Amino acid sequence: MEPSAWYLPVEPPADLRGVLACSWTAVPDGEHRLTPDGCSDLLRIDNGVFVLCGPERASWTFSLPPGTTAVGVRFRPGALPSVFDLDVSTIVDQRVPVAELIGATAAAAIGDAIAAARGLDAQRQVLLDRVGALAAGAALAPETEAILDVLAASPRATQQQLATTTGMSVRSLRRHALRHFGYGTAALARILRFQRFLAVVSLATGERSLAVFAAQAGYVDQAHLARDCRAITSLSTTEFLAEYFPTFPDMADPYKTPSASWATLAS
C-alpha cells in the first residue's frame, strides 16, 4: 500500500456485483471526511470493532490512532435487505455490531479468522469470502434497481416520476425507499447527484467551471449545487473542493484519482 493511499477499494467478484460496490483496505492515519454515497459498509478495525455502518445522510469526519488498520466490504445502495433482511431506515447514521445481525458466535468466528490472516489483503479476502457466503443468491429488488436506474438517467427525477416509472404508488415508493435505502427518494437523489458531481469534477479535463460541472452532474444551476453541498457537507462548494482536492483549484491531485466505476457514474 502506497503511503498516501490510506483507502484502497477492490472491485468485487462477478457473482457479488449485484450487491457489493467493492471490498477495501484502509490505514486511516490522520483525520478524514467521509461523504455519503447511499452505500453501507461492513468493516472490522484491528482493535476488534466489527460493525455494519448504515447509510449516512451527511458527511462526517473521523480520526483513529496512528497505525490503525481496517478491512471492509461496501454494499450497494438498496442491497442490505436482500442480505440481512432488515429495514435500513432503522440503521441510518448508526453503527450496528455484526453480532446483532448474524449472532455472536458467527461474528466472533469471522472476526477471529480475519485477525489470524497475515496482511491486509489476506484479511480483506477473508471478510469478502465470509460475506460472499452470507450474500449467496442475494440481489437488489427489481423496484430498487429501477429507482437507481431512473436517478442515474434523470438526477432530478421527482417522486411522482419515480412512482410512475417503477409502477408503484407514491406511498408504496416511499415505504420501499425507506426500507431499502434508509431515506426517501428526495434524499437519495440529493446524495447520488452529489456523488455524480464529484465524479464529474474528478474526471474533468480542460475547462474547470463550477457552473459547467453543476450542469453536467444534473443540477438546475450552480446555486442548486451550492445548496446541496451545504446540506450534505456543511461547507460551501469551494470550501469542500479545497478540502477534497489538496491542489484545488487545479483538482488534478493523483491522490484523488477515481476508480473505474466513477467513469460510469459521471456518464
Q: Judging by DSSP bridges, how do beta strands 20-26 and 7-10 pair with one another?
A: antiparallel
One-letter identity of residue 113? A
Amino acid type, 236: S
Domain locations along the chain:
7-134, 142-266
Residue 191 pLDDT grade (very low, low, confident, very high; cuts 50, 70, 90)? very high
Q: Name the band, by pLDDT with cuts 50, 70 and 90, for residue 156.
A: very high
pLDDT band at 264 (very low <50, low <70, confident <90, very high): very low
pLDDT band, very low/low/confident/very high, at 1 (cuts 50, 70, 90): very low
Identify the pLDDT of residue 204: 75
Q: Is the pLDDT of residue 242 over 90?
A: no
| Average pLDDT over every residue of 150-161 | 94
pLDDT mean over 17-45: 93
Q: What is the CA radius of gyration of the chain?
A: 19
**pLDDT band for position 57 (cuts 50, 70, 90):** very high
For 130-144, the pLDDT digits (tens) are 999 999 999 999 999
Query: Does the pLDDT at position 256 exceed 60?
Result: no
pLDDT digits (tens, 9 = 90+) for 194-229: 999 998 988 877 667 899 999 999 999 999 999 999
Q: What is the mean pLDDT of the chain?
A: 88
At 28 the pLDDT is 85
Q: Is residue 126 predicted with pLDDT exceeding 80?
A: yes
Say what the pLDDT of residue 33 is: 87
What's residue 254's pLDDT? 34
Q: What pLDDT, on the 0 to 100 scale, is given for residue 246?
A: 60
Percentage of the residues of the chain whose pLDDT score is greater than 90: 78
258: pLDDT confidence band, cut at 50, 70 and 90?
very low
CATH dotted code for 142-266: 1.10.10.60
Give the N- to C-terminal CA distance of the chain in Å, as an integer: 30
SS3 for 63-107 is EECCCCCEEEEEECCCCHHHHHCCCHHHCCCCEEEHHHHHCHHHH
SS3 for 15?
helix
Percentage of the chain with pLDDT > 70? 89
pLDDT at 44 over 70: yes
Q: How far apart, in whole angstroms, are the C-alpha atoms of residue 83 and residue 21?
A: 14
Predicted TM-score (pTM) of the model is 0.89
Task: Give the sign of the dihedral formed by CA 96, CA 101, CA 105, CA 106.
Answer: negative
